[in-house]
């Protein structure tokens, strides 16, 4: 009964967020959740303690735009690590999160904004592309002229994202060079997509003055393709990405390869990039597409409680939570502890690192 009340509360919170935006709703979230928990007769403590204890910790997860894959992945992560007082017992076939934890996913502009927000203490955690994380840590790239965010730490490398170049069908665009003279969305300010798009365009000898740049997120870019107000857009997301799926079933788009010598040089220069093939039929009417891949990492701060991060990492890889991850997002099937420590460009958080040592994935 208690878990049903909490689920109804979360549904109310999400509807409020959709209507008003997170900042205006945050006080409502905290107040309503606390009142709801108090109404259930809660009492005191957290991570490893008595199941009947009731001190609650809220934990935000910054994601991205609703048209990308960070948003649904963030919702899945929040679901598997949350376990408010009064939840059902941890048994096979049910979710099993961190006792006393209420995780909340938050939409955002994307990786660049997420790295800043976590480092500055405005978010407890977030999803960030590997290249953006490395740049934030060292104060370069999109963070040029800013202090290095050396307090960032990794919980896990979740999965590999594909860099999509989506074009309106019928334009006969064969590669990045063909974007000259067109209307192209390079992603919204603060997004990892924007950082990658600029790097790719530069590698292929295309400058921002060679085309009409548009600043739009995935959802807005998809709308503009359908309305005829945009010719192409970049999107860094796990495949399949929701916004691209919606366009492909209408037969409205092509996905253009990002390959050849410029792509090869880019992968050599920036080792966090990899070869990636989007398989045929990932998107309807679209065949195999050769492109570039980049890791999607879950990050937090070095000061985040070690016991809490250890418990979160354990819950992330708990077999009882796997079905929730997989059904919430196609990329959930790629989340596994062995891959979680690969392609990590900065330090792991000590709490996560302890989990990987305990499982024998890392060796001392």
Q: What is the DSSP track for 272-315?
A: TEEEEEE-TTSSTT---EEEEEEEEEEEEETTS-HHHHHHHHHH
Largest CA distance in the chain: 64
Rounded Cα distance, 237 and 295, in Å = 10
Q: Would you say the CATH fold of 161-295 matches that of 2-158+298-358?
A: yes
Q: Residue 114 in contact with residue 340, Cβ under 8 Å?
A: no
Choosing among 3.30.465.10, 3.40.190.10, 1.10.8.640, 3.30.1950.10, the CATH entry for 161-295 is 3.40.190.10
pLDDT of 31: 40
Q: How far is CA 169 from the centre of its chain?
A: 28
Question: What is the DSSP secondary structure assignment for residue 348, as one 8-state letter?
Answer: B
The alpha carbon torsion through 136, 140, 143, 144 (nearest 10 deg) reads 160
Instruction: Please report, in tens digits, the pLDDT of each residue of the chain (364 residues total).
Output: 444 444 444 444 444 444 434 333 333 333 444 434 433 333 333 455 444 455 899 999 999 988 788 999 999 999 999 999 988 888 877 789 999 999 999 999 899 999 999 999 999 999 999 999 999 999 998 999 999 999 999 999 999 999 999 999 999 899 999 999 999 999 998 888 999 999 999 999 999 999 999 999 999 999 999 999 999 999 999 899 989 999 999 999 999 999 999 999 999 988 889 999 999 999 999 999 999 999 999 999 999 999 999 999 999 999 999 988 888 777 888 999 999 999 899 999 999 999 999 999 999 7
Choosing among 3.30.70.270, 3.40.640.10, 3.40.50.970, 3.40.190.10, the CATH entry for 2-158+298-358 is 3.40.190.10
Question: Nearest Cα to 321, choosing from 158, 92, 89?
Answer: 92
pTM of the model: 0.79
Structure tokens belonging to residue 263: 């792509």
Rounded Cα distance, 171 and 178, in Å = 10
Phi, psi torsion values for 162, nearest 5 degrees:
-105, 140
Alpha helical stretches, state H, the chain: 2-20, 22-39, 70-81, 111-119, 130-138, 192-203, 218-227, 242-248, 261-269, 306-316, 322-328, 350-358
Domains in the chain: boundaries: 2-158+298-358, 161-295
Q: Which burial class, exposed, middle or buried, applies to 121 when counting CB atoms under 10 A from its CB (0-12, 13-18, 19+)?
A: exposed
Taking phi over 0 as left and psi of -120 to 50 as alpha, with beta for the rest, 149 belongs to beta
Q: Residue 303 in contact with residue 121, Cβ under 8 Å?
A: no
Question: What is the DSSP secondary structure assignment for residue 178, as one 8-state letter?
Answer: G
pLDDT tens profile 255-306: 999 999 999 999 998 888 999 999 999 999 999 999 999 999 999 999 999 9
């Amino acid at each position: 009964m208690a878990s049903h009340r909490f689920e109804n509360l979360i549904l109310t919170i999400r509807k409020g967020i959709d209507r008003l935006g997170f900042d205006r709703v945050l006080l409502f979230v905290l107040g309503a959740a606390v009142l709801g928990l108090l109404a259930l007769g809660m009492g005191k403590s957290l991570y490893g303690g008595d199941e009947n204890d009731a001190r609650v910790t809220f934990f935000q997860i910054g994601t991205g735009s609703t048209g990308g894959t960070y948003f649904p992945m963030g919702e899945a992560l929040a679901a598997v690590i949350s376990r408010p007082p009064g939840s059902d017992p941890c048994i096979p076939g049910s979710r099993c999160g961190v006792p006393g934890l209420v995780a909340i996913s938050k939409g955002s502009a994307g990786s660049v904004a997420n790295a800043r927000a976590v480092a500055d203490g405005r978010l407890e955690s977030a999803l960030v592309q590997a290249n953006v994380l490395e740049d934030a840590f060292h104060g370069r790239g999109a963070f040029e002229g800013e202090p290095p965010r050396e307090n960032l730490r990794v919980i896990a490398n979740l999965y590999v994202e594909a860099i999509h170049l989506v074009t309106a069908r019928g334009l006969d665009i064969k590669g990045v060079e063909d974007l000259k003279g067109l209307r192209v969305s390079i992603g919204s300010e603060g997004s990892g997509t924007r950082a990658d798009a600029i790097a790719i365009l530069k590698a292929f000898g295309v400058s921002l003055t060679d085309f009409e740049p548009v600043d739009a997120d995935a959802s807005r870019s998809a709308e503009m393709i359908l309305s005829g107000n945009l010719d192409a857009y970049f999107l860094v997301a796990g495949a399949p990405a929701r916004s691209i799926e919606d366009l492909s079933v209408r037969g409205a788009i092509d996905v253009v390869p990002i390959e050849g010598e410029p792509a090869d040089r880019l992968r050599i220069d920036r080792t966090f990039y990899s070869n990636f093939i989007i398989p045929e039929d990932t998107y309807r009417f679209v065949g195999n597409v050769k492109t570039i891949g980049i890791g999607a990492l879950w990050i937090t701060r070095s000061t985040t409680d070690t016991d809490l991060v250890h418990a979160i990492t354990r819950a992330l890889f708990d077999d009882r939570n796997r079905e929730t991850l997989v059904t919430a997002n196609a990329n959930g099937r790629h989340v596994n502890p062995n891959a979680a420590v690969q392609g990590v460009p900065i330090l792991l958080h000590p709490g996560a690192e302890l989990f990987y040592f305990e499982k024998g994935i890392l060796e001392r």
